[in-house]
Chains A and B, each alone.
Chain A
């Protein structure tokens, strides 16, 4: 599976990621419904912090951004330096679905290199509730469609 051609980070990159992840609608439906506004903050070397978003709405997944955090109103923001984002994505492109060390969960559990911040407990608990769906989206950077529940 070739790498996404749009530059990272950019709106087109996230849109292509979501298009790949949702190409198999049956796979997405097997992951189950989700309701979540997931913010992704990329800390660039110049200190700017563009924010992109994934909106999980039932079985629909939409990429948005870059946009202002106040406008997007994420329930949780997953934030890290550009290098950390790039390394995670390159690993998935090279190896396929993330192993535990390169997963959203594994990379944020200690607060480094990614911080998962939310204003209340519901935001972080939703991060845990929909982890499979979120990871499936990112795993699509390295495979044609997510590896969902129910197909093994």
Chain B
């Protein structure tokens, strides 16, 4: 491959014979003056003029910044996601800014020094939950990372948001690993059912499929676990961990919901594809509700001990189940995908969720 090295340019430029083609012959929108909003110069502030025009189908497959004057001989980067609707969401610019603004540090922002010895049952439960969460969170970094280099650079704002998600998930993996090792416990069990769900996401044939399984379904479940963790936290340490993770996770879910909505608004015929993806995902979701390594630690955190959990744990499990399924159905509704008639969840899982019983799997 020839890179077109022109050594004579060195001589010409040494003589002061500049090319200046970039100065005189560049065909871009000039004279742009983006105005900062009150929080600073945001991505939305610079989403103006031709620079705010995102093509429905990317005309080139290059890393050239959208709106630049692209030389005709730029190489083809081989992107496979070249349609805006494959990755876009109407909230992606704002979510990126929010993500950058609300970053935190698992080293600095958790009051680790306030950890106190817990009842051994509770410490075991917290460590098991931390093990599961440390395990599942990294897939939400692996999945965007797997697809990022395939996404056309014209959709750079969506790529930037996915980059924030990668960082968020690294931090979640970090903070739960730290929690497991910080208070006299350690890591617990990793289970096959959890790994199968992660595999389903990672091996998805398309970004559409993986995003539906991960952003909408998987992260929706984890968001509810974070919410429950914050509510059941035995100390301010865990409360802060779960609260900060919850904020991050909800951004990812908000992207997934609005991305699916964007996708379906532009191509309603894809609804059946997404139903099929979620049919598969819900079968794994049902298995999670019967996985002791997830259900029982949550019940013990709610009740305070193994013995108390035998009496109270079912109620705690019901709260979590109703929230997971209820929030999931609301997100599907908002995205424009009515799952109520074809949930692949057993009656025992959807019982009590408004409108969810009809058509649920027996």
Residues of B within 8 A of A124 (CB): 327, 330
Contact flag A129-B257 (CB < 8 Å), given A103-B239, A109-B319: no
Q: Interface extent on A, as a size class?
A: 20 to 34
B126 to chain A, nearest CB (A): 13
B87 on the A face (CB < 8 A)? no
Contact status B98-A120, CB under 8 Å:
no
**Inter-chain contact A128/B330, CB cutoff 8 Å:** no
Residues 108-141 of chain A, each 1 if its beta carbon lies under 8 Å from chain B, else 0: 0110000000001110111011111001000000
Contacts across chains A and B counted by CB atoms under 8 Å = 101
Does B98 contact A149, Cβ atoms closer than 8 Å? no
Cβ of B61 under 8 Å from chain A: no
Contact pattern, A 67-106, Cβ under 8 Å of B = 1, otherwise 0: 0000000000000000000000000000001011101011
Residue pair A106, B230 in contact (C-beta under 8 Å): yes
B77-132: which have CB < 8 Å to A?
94, 97-98, 101-105, 108-111
* A59 interfacial by beta-carbon distance below 8 Å: yes
Q: Kindly identify which residue among B239, B323, B331 contacts A100, using a CB–CB cutoff of 8 Å.
A: B239
A/B interface sample: 18 pairs, CB < 8 A: A59-B38, A99-B236, A100-B233, A100-B239, A105-B231, A105-B246, A106-B230, A106-B231, A124-B327, A125-B223, A126-B250, A128-B249, A132-B102, A149-B104, A149-B244, A150-B108, A150-B109, A152-B109
User: Chain A: residues with CB nearer than 8 A to chain B?
Assistant: 31-35, 58-60, 97, 99-101, 103, 105-106, 109-110, 120-122, 124-126, 128-132, 135, 149-150, 152
Beyond A58-B39, A105-B231, A128-B223: 20 further Cβ-contacts under 8 Å?
A33-B39, A33-B97, A99-B236, A99-B239, A100-B231, A101-B231, A105-B227, A105-B230, A109-B227, A121-B327, A121-B330, A125-B250, A125-B253, A125-B254, A128-B247, A132-B244, A132-B247, A135-B243, A149-B104, A150-B105
